[in-house]
Structure formats: structure tokens, C-alpha cells
């Protein structure tokens, strides 16, 4: 190959990469009837590769349902047992009657959808590769490391601590975005703290222990990730997000009524059918570490479809960014020795920026091997 041809090929690759870095919404807005090669996964990773003798055959699962009203009422003890079983067996549950109004949820969905309908130049104002950025717009899973891109654009917002100081950096378009998103963030944070209290009780915490632990979470971290999965011309060849577990303590996920979330349960990928006006709540890596392995942070992924776009909002909660997470000493003894190393946000960022994320390697990297 001549130097001129090599230079031309390199320029073409750079040009194509710049196009993909702008995200899938930008691609779709220009018109698309075939999946670009940059998004085509290897055969073994494709959601369409589901033969009858394949252990990854997709099925269906009914996640445990936790009724928030009952959790806060006279049946609390019974609901706590259900919550404990959900954490041990599924790592997920659906939360109904959560008392966040349909108006707050509808408004959040509306402003998120409108944000992704903005011209690319408006969305691009928030593009950043800085993992510490208060507001970050991007695409794929980790666009600086992914060799194959995923069919997803996202807007990531740091919500806590000091939400009202952070608001000045949030998008000002669409007009109602800051008001709707900040109200939603405050209400999901309040809901998270009530759920944490229940989880601590389910793990055997006494009242005074709960109070001490809850103080740490009150000033804890909250990240909100708005995910946009546009219609995909060949959804069987790609994923919206790869198999992963969530870094954090709990994630509260708001979905629309378009299916897309799948969890890895009993060696199979299973669809999670959204219930109307509910949250899908999942155990994060921090809670698996804190519970010393009793509650499971489970692999999940997102599939896309050719017919309908999909929007989801994930609210991820944990301790303050500078805090260290480790197994709760009360759950460590001779019969159940310590299973995880200490971890913090800095260790996590160092890990994900040093390699392409694959499955739940970060949590595996924190396990103690005896």
C-alpha cells in the first residue's frame, strides 16, 4: 500500500470515528436503513444468537413485586422478608405504589424525550470525556474504550450532594428540564433513603445501627443517567448496553412501556416486562460488597428494537464519592468470612478507564480469593 493510500485510509477511519462519536441519535436523524459495522457485535455477543441448545436462550421472568405502601405499613415484616428474598435470588425487584406522582414521572419522561429531540449542536454542548463532569452527554457504553459501539446515547447528571448548586450546569433546554429533572431527582433520593432503611433492617440492623448508617447515605452520591435507544435497523446484531452490573448501592430505574431490559437469571437472559407506573430497583456492586455477598449485584443488558425508540432514566445512589465501601462487620464471621476488598469511587474510575468494560469484572476484581 502506498503512503498516499495509507493516509487516505487513516483519514477515512478518523472521519468515520468522529461520526460515530456524535451518537446514534445523530445517525438516525440523517436516515439509516442498515446497521453500520461499528455497531455489529461478534456472533457470540449478539442478542439474536439464541439457539435452542444455547444456555443463553431468552425467556421471561416475573420479578418480585414490593408494595411500598405495605412496606411502610403494618405488613412491614412480611414485605421485608420478600425484599430479602428478592436481593438474594434476583438482585432485582419492581416497586409499586411508591408515592411519586404520575405528574412528576410524566414530566420527567417528557423533558428527557424533548432533550434528545434537540438539534445535535445543542446536545453536543454537554459532550465530555471527563468522568468527573457534572453534566456529560455521550454515546455507547464507554466511547473512549469500546471497540464496538453500543446503540445508546446518554445524558449523565450529578444530582447529589448539593443539588441546587449543581443545577446551574444542567441543560437549560428544553425550558422545563431543570425544574422537572430536579424535582424528580429529589423525590427519587427520598425514596432511596426509605428503601435503604428497609434493606438495612432486612440485613439485621438494629435501630441505632440504622440511624448511624443512614447518616452516611443522606449526604451520599446520586447520579442520574437518561438513556436514549433510538429505533435500530438491525437490532439482532447489536445491544443498547452490554452485560454489566451497576456501581453503587441501589439503582432506581424508570422505564417506558417498551421492553428492553434483560437480566441474567439462572444462566439465561430474561426479559423484564415493565409494570405501569413502577420502578425497577436493582442491587448495585456496593450493596453486594456491604452485605458480604448476601444480596447480589446481577448482570443485566439492554436490547433494542426496530419499531420504537426507548427512553429510560436510571437514578444511581450510594455513599459520598470520597467514602470507602466495605463489608459490614456485623455480616462477617468465621462461617461467612470477609469476601471483598475495600473500594471507593477513585478505584472504580481507575479500573474502567484502564480497560474496555466486560461483564462485571470490577466487582470480580474486588473479591477476596481464599
* pLDDT score for 355: 64
Residue 257 grid cell: 412501556
Predicted confidence band of residue 223 (pLDDT cuts 50, 70, 90): very high
The pLDDT tens digits for 340-349 are 999 988 888 7
42-48 average pLDDT score: 89
The values of phi and psi at residue 88, to 5°, are -80, -40
> What integer pLDDT is reported at residue 10 of this predicted model?
39
Confidence (pLDDT) at 6 = 40
How does pLDDT run across 275-291, given as a tens digit for each residue?
888 999 999 999 999 99
CB 286 within 8 A of CB 274: no
Q: Which residue has the higher pLDDT, 193 or 321?
A: 193
Query: For residue 55, is pLDDT > 70?
Result: no
Query: Per the structure block, which three cell numbers stand in for 238?
Result: 447489536
Task: Tell me the domains of the chain and their CATH numbers.
Answer: 21-320 (2.60.120.330)
pLDDT band with cut points at 50, 70 and 90 for residue 206: confident
pLDDT tens readout for residues 137-174: 999 887 777 889 999 999 999 998 888 899 999 999 99
Residue 30: per-residue pLDDT: 83
Over range 268-280, report the average pLDDT.
90
Whether the per-residue pLDDT at 11 is higher than 70: the answer is no
Give the mean pLDDT of 300-308: 94
pLDDT of residue 117: 96
**pLDDT at 309 (0 to 100):** 93
- Is the pLDDT at 12 greater than 50? The verdict is no
Grade residue 126 by pLDDT with cuts at 50, 70 and 90. very high
Nearest to 296 by CA among 358, 355, 360: 360
Q: How confident is the model at residue 2 (pLDDT cuts 50, 70, 90)?
A: low
Q: Which residues contact 40 (CB under 8 A, 6 or more apart)?
A: 148, 237, 238
Q: How confident is the model at residue 4 (pLDDT cuts 50, 70, 90)?
A: very low
Q: What's the pTM?
A: 0.90
Poorest-pLDDT segment among 11-20, 70-79, 92-101, 183-192: 11-20
Say which residue, 11 or 130, is predicted with more confidence. Answer: 130
What is the C-alpha separation between 320 and 221, in angstroms, rounded? 5
pLDDT band at 17; cut points 50, 70, 90? low
Separation between Cα atoms, residue 269 and residue 257, nearest integer Å: 19
Task: With a cut of 50, say whether residue 15 has pLDDT above it.
Answer: no
Over range 29-50, report the average pLDDT. Answer: 86
Q: Which long-range contacts (CB under 8 A, 24 or more apart) does 168-171 make?
A: 169/134, 169/135, 170/135, 171/115, 171/125, 171/126, 171/135
State residue 208's pLDDT score.
86
Cβ contacts of residue 204 below 8 Å, gap of 6+? 330, 331
The pLDDT of residue 287: 97
| Mean pLDDT computed over every residue of the chain | 88
Amino acid at each position: 500500500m502506498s503512503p498516499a493510500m495509507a493516509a487516505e485510509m487513516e483519514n477515512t477511519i478518523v472521519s468515520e470515528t468522529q461520526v460515530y462519536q456524535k451518537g446514534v441519535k445523530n445517525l438516525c436523524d440523517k436516515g439509516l436503513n442498515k446497521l453500520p459495522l461499528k455497531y455489529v457485535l461478534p456472533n457470540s455477543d449478539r442478542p439474536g444468537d439464541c439457539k435452542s441448545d444455547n444456555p443463553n436462550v431468552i425467556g421471561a421472568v416475573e420479578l418480585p413485586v414490593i408494595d411500598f405502601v405495605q412496606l411502610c405499613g403494618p405488613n412491614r415484616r412480611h414485605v421485608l422478608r420478600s425484599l430479602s428474598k428478592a436481593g438474594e435470588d434476583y438482585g432485582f425487584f419492581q416497586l409499586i405504589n411508591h408515592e411519586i406522582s404520575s405528574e412528576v414521572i410524566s414530566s420527567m419522561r417528557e423533558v428527557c424525550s424533548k432533550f434528545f429531540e434537540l438539534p445535535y449542536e445543542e446536545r453536543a454542548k454537554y459532550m465530555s470525556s471527563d468522568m468527573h463532569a457534572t453534566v456529560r452527554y455521550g454515546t455507547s457504553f464507554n466511547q473512549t474504550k469500546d471497540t464496538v459501539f453500543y446503540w445508546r446515547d446518554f445524558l449523565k447528571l450529578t444530582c447529589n450532594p448539593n443539588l441546587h448548586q449543581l443545577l446551574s450546569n444542567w441543560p437549560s433546554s428544553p425550558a422545563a428540564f431543570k425544574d422537572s429533572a430536579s424535582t424528580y431527582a429529589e423525590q427519587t433520593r427520598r425514596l432511596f433513603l426509605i428503601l435503604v432503611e428497609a434493606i438495612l433492617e432486612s440485613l439485621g440492623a438494629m435501630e441505632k445501627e440504622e440511624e448511624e448508617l443512614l447518616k452516611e447515605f443522606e449526604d451520599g452520591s446520586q447520579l442520574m443517567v437518561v438513556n436514549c435507544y433510538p429505533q435500530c435497523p438491525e437490532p439482532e446484531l447489536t445491544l443498547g448496553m452490554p452485560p454489566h452490573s451497576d456501581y453503587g448501592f441501589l439503582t432506581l430505574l424508570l422505564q417506558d412501556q417498551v421492553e428492553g431490559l434483560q437480566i441474567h437469571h439462572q444462566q439465561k437472559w430474561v426479559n423484564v416486562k415493565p409494570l405501569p407506573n413502577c420502578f425497577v430497583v436493582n442491587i448495585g456492586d456496593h450493596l453486594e460488597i456491604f452485605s458480604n455477598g448476601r444480596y447480589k449485584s446481577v448482570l443485566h443488558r439492554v436490547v433494542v428494537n426496530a419499531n420504537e425508540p426507548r427512553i429510560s432514566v436510571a437514578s444511581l445512589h450510594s455513599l459520598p464519592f470520597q467514602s470507602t465501601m466495605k463489608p459490614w462487620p456485623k455480616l462477617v464471621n468465621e462461617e461467612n468470612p470477609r469476601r471483598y476488598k475495600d473500594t471507593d469511587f477513585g478505584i472504580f474510575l481507575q479500573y474502567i478507564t484502564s480497560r474496555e468494560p466486560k461483564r462485571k469484572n470490577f466487582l470480580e476484581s474486588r473479591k477476596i480469593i481464599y
